[in-house]
């Protein structure tokens, strides 16, 4: 069974049909740049472009980089603030004229990784963290999701952690892998102090380069592993969630 997944990010919007039996993209994903400013109407147009690229008709799961309750957006860190209090489900459902399910982007990636990837079968407290334009988070307790944690916005050195330790911060400040890994280490240490997890799964596009930095992260008690679905996890998790509703 295939269901469509779309992952809205601060820099790109990507999507593809997903094979839900294998947890893999059924076709190569299509990606467009996130419009600037990323207003609801502009983003909705880009989502439609991605979906229409595949001539898709059927349920669509869509991630959003912020807190989502029901289908209403409550926070918007890396997209236009006009998203706040927008019923994204209605907006995107009307635009696509298809059944739409909206969820937090970190939660979507986590659901996919816990089902098909590095978190499969893991119990206890597990974090999936996506490093990109910001930092997405998904928290699982014995395999059950605690939704909308958005822990990239924990305060670290007086600022949102994602301003300090995202891959955008790495690129913006031209940090070496070693220097950036030290920042990630400080962030993980803060999470470990608060939650005492057994496992950190490092996701987002940077997970493709895990060999360059994971071994540089020290003094963390929890196991640290790269995400297996890498930057497709959000698409897969969105499609999985749409199939369940």
Q: Are residues 77 and 151 in the same domain?
A: no
Query: How far is C-alpha 40 from the chain's CA centre?
Result: 19
Question: In this predicted structure, what is the pLDDT of residue 27?
Answer: 98
Structure tokens at 178: 């070693």
Q: Are residues 127 and 43 in the same domain?
A: no
116 in a domain, yes or no? no
Query: pLDDT tens across 73-107, in order?
Result: 999 989 999 999 999 999 999 999 999 999 999 99
Across 174-201, average pLDDT: 98
Q: Are residues 156 and 199 in the same domain?
A: yes
- List Cβ neighbours of 187 (8 Å cut-off, separation of 6 or more): 135, 154, 156, 161, 164, 165
Q: Are residues 61 and 149 in the same domain?
A: no
Q: Are residues 220 and 132 in the same domain?
A: yes
Question: In this predicted structure, what is the pLDDT of residue 183?
Answer: 97
Across 164-177, average pLDDT: 97
- Cβ pair 79, 63 in contact under 8 A: no
Question: In this predicted structure, what is the pLDDT of residue 172?
Answer: 97
Other C-beta atoms lying within 10 Å of the C-beta of residue 1: 10
Q: Residue 202: which pLDDT band, with cuts at 50, 70 and 90?
A: very high
Q: Are residues 67 and 128 in the same domain?
A: no
Q: Residue 139: which pLDDT band, with cuts at 50, 70 and 90?
A: very high
Question: In this predicted structure, what is the pLDDT of residue 77?
Answer: 86
**pTM confidence score:** 0.96
Question: In this predicted structure, what is the pLDDT of residue 175?
Answer: 98
Query: pLDDT tens across 26-59, in order?
Result: 999 999 999 999 999 999 999 999 999 999 999 9
Question: In this predicted structure, what is the pLDDT of residue 245?
Answer: 84
Tell me if residue 83 falls in helix, strand or coil.
helix
Tell me if residue 207 falls in helix, strand or coil.
helix
Structure tokens at 91: 């907006």
What is the span of the domain harbouring residue 8? 2-107+233-244
Q: Are residues 89 and 11 in the same domain?
A: yes
**CATH code (residue 37):** 3.30.420.40
Q: Are residues 86 and 27 in the same domain?
A: yes
Q: How many domains does the chain have?
A: 2
Asked whether the predicted pLDDT for residue 141 surpasses 90, the reply is yes
Within the chain, residue ranges assigned H as helices are: 40-53, 88-96, 105-116, 161-165, 167-172, 177-195, 233-244
113 in a domain, yes or no? no
Asked whether the predicted pLDDT for residue 71 surpasses 90, the reply is yes
Q: Which own/partner pairs from 46-50 qualify as long-range (CB within 8 Å, at least 24 positions apart)?
A: 46/13, 47/6, 47/8, 47/13, 47/15, 47/92, 47/95, 47/96, 48/95, 48/96, 50/6, 50/13, 50/14, 50/15
Q: Are residues 201 and 148 in the same domain?
A: yes
115 in a domain, yes or no? no
51 in a domain, yes or no? yes
93 in a domain, yes or no? yes
End-to-end CA distance of the chain: 15
Q: Are residues 142 and 183 in the same domain?
A: yes
CA-CA distance, 219 to 207, in Å (whole number)?
A: 20
25 in a domain, yes or no? yes
CA-CA distance, 73 to 157, in Å (whole number)?
A: 28
112 in a domain, yes or no? no
Question: In this predicted structure, what is the pLDDT of residue 55?
Answer: 98
Question: In this predicted structure, what is the pLDDT of residue 93?
Answer: 98
Q: Are residues 220 and 239 in the same domain?
A: no
Question: In this predicted structure, what is the pLDDT of residue 157?
Answer: 85
CA-CA distance, 30 to 53, in Å (whole number)?
A: 7
114 in a domain, yes or no? no
Across 213-221, average pLDDT: 97
Question: In this predicted structure, what is the pLDDT of residue 42?
Answer: 98
Asked whether the predicted pLDDT for residue 210 surpasses 90, the reply is yes
Question: In this predicted structure, what is the pLDDT of residue 164?
Answer: 95
Q: Are residues 79 and 174 in the same domain?
A: no
């Amino acid at each position: 069974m295939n269901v469509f997944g779309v992952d809205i990010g601060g820099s790109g919007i990507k999507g593809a049909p997903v094979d839900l039996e294998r947890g893999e993209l059924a076709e190569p994903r299509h990606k467009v740049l996130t419009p600037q400013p990323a207003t609801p109407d502009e983003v909705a147009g880009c989502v439609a472009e991605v979906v229409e690229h595949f001539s898709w008709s059927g349920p669509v799961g869509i991630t959003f980089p912020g807190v989502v309750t029901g289908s209403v957006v409550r926070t918007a860190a890396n997209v236009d603030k006009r998203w706040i209090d927008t019923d994204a489900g209605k907006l995107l459902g009307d635009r696509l004229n298809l059944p739409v399910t909206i969820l937090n982007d970190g939660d979507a990636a986590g659901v996919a990784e816990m089902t098909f990837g590095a978190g499969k079968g893991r119990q206890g407290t597990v974090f999936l963290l996506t490093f990109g334009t910001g930092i997405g988070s998904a928290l699982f307790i014995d395999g059950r999701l605690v939704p909308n944690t958005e822990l990239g916005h924990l305060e670290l050195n007086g600022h949102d952690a994602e301003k300090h330790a995202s891959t955008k911060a790495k690129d913006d400040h031209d940090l070496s892998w070693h220097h950036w890994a030290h920042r990630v280490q400080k962030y993980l240490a803060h999470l470990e102090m608060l939650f005492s997890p057994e496992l950190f799964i490092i996701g987002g596009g940077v997970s493709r380069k895990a060999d360059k930095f994971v071994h540089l992260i020290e003094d963390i008690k929890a196991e640290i592993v790269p995400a297996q679905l890498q930057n497709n996890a959000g698409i897969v998790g969105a499609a999985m969630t749409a199939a369940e509703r």
